[in-house]
Amino acid sequence: MGTNKKRKRQFDIEDHHPTIFLIAASCGLLSFFGPIVLIPLIQEVMLHSDQLLELLTPTLSYRMMMGALLWIPFVAGLYFITRKTAERRRVPYRLGPVMIALVLLAAPFMAFSIQHYVLLEDEGFHYNDWYEWRGTWYDWAEVEEVQPVRESRGGVLHISYRFVLEDETTFTFESDDDFRRVRSDIFDTIEEEGGTMMPTVDEEEDPSQD
C-alpha cells in the first residue's frame, strides 16, 4: 500500500516580491510628508505635561526620519538588483540576511528622530539631543543673552534666536509658529532674570561667527 507524502511548501521570497515592492514604495512616499505628521504626534503623546509651554521639534529630527524612510526603498532596490544579478549568473542568492540587517538599520534612526526635541517650560527648557536618552535641563536664569539672527534662504527671510548661556553653550531656536506662540513670555522671563535681548543682526555679521 502506497503512502502519500505531504511536501511542506518552503518559504520562497519571490512570492513576497509584490509585498516588498509595496512596502518600499509606501515608505518612499511617506518620507515626503510622514515626518511632519508622525514625529510631533508621537512626541505630543510621549511628552505631554501640564507644565509644558511648547514642544519644539528640531529640523534634524525630520531629516533623520525622512532619511530612515528613504533608506528602506533604497535597500529594496539594492535587493532586487543583486538578486537579479545572482539569477543571471545562475548562483544561489545568499544576501537575504544582509538585506534584512540593512533594513533594520532604519529603526534606530527613527527612534533617534523622535528622541530629538526641546521642551519649553515656565522655569526653563529641556533639550534632548538625538543621541541622548534623558537630555539636559537649563533654567532661563542661565541665559545671558538672546541674539536674533536674520537670514535669507532662497529669497525667503528667516529669523532664528541664539540663546547664549553662562558657560557659553549656545542653542539656536528657529522662529517657527510653535516658538512664536511663547517667545514673548520667554523673553520677558529671561530679561527679568538678568539676561539681555540683543538687537537683530544679519547672518554674515553675527558676532558668534567670529
Which cell is 4 given?
Answer: 502519500
- For residues 37 and 208, the model is more confident at 37
**pLDDT mean over 176-186:** 92
Range of the structural domain that residue 74 is part of: 14-122
Residues in the chain: 210
> How many domains is the chain built from?
2
Same domain, 139 and 202: yes
The answer to whether the beta carbons of residues 190 and 145 sit under 8 Å apart is no
1 domain-assigned? no
CATH number at residue 146: 2.40.50
Q: What is the DSSP letter of 141?
A: G
Determine the Cα–Cα distance for residues 143 and 123; give it in Å rounded to an integer.
Answer: 12
The C-alpha cell of 37 is what? 505628521
Q: What percent of the chain has pLDDT over 70?
A: 89
Residue 68 within any structural domain of the chain: yes
Highest mean pLDDT among 13-17, 87-91, 155-159: 87-91
- CA pair distance 186, 199, nearest whole angstrom: 16
Q: What cell was used for 80?
A: 532586487
The answer to whether 81 and 145 have CB atoms below 8 angstroms apart is no
Question: Where is the domain boundary, 99, 122, 145?
Answer: 122
Q: Please report which confidence band the pLDDT of residue 134 belongs to, taking 50, 70 and 90 as the band edges.
A: confident
